Amino acid sequence: MHDIEKAKNQLIDLKIWLDDNKEHEGESIEAIDDALMALEKQIPKKPKIINYGTNVCSNSDCQCDLLRWYTHCPDCGQCLNWEVEND
């Protein structure tokens, strides 16, 4: 399992535990949600192609135009995967 996926799963398990143990919730759960969002952005995602030659970020909260040499979205930080799949 990829290290990012492993960390994500551990944070989800911790969040479930905190939710079951109400005395530990509040800021801790909010911090876990922030960490999960940051980890999710480190998993490379393919940009969306909306028109010939126009690529946009795959993060639904962003949708900014991307240039081919970007490794990360300059607006939201999403890691990008530009690999072309062969059929």
Residue 27 sits in the same domain as residue 63: no
Average pLDDT of the residues of the chain:
81
Residue 76 contacts residue 57 (beta carbons within 8 Å)? yes
DSSP 45: B
Residue 18 sits in the same domain as residue 37: yes
Q: Give the residue numbers spanning the domain of 11.
A: 3-41
What is the chain's length? 87
Residue % of the chain over a pLDDT of 70: 90
3-state SS class at 81: coil
Residue 30 sits in the same domain as residue 54: no
Inter-residue long-range contacts of 24-27, CB under 8 Å, 24+ positions, other chains counted:
none
Into how many domains does the chain fold?
Answer: 2
pTM here is 0.67
Residue 49 sits in the same domain as residue 74: yes
Q: What is the pLDDT of residues 24-53, one digit of tens each?
A: 556 677 888 888 888 888 888 888 888 777
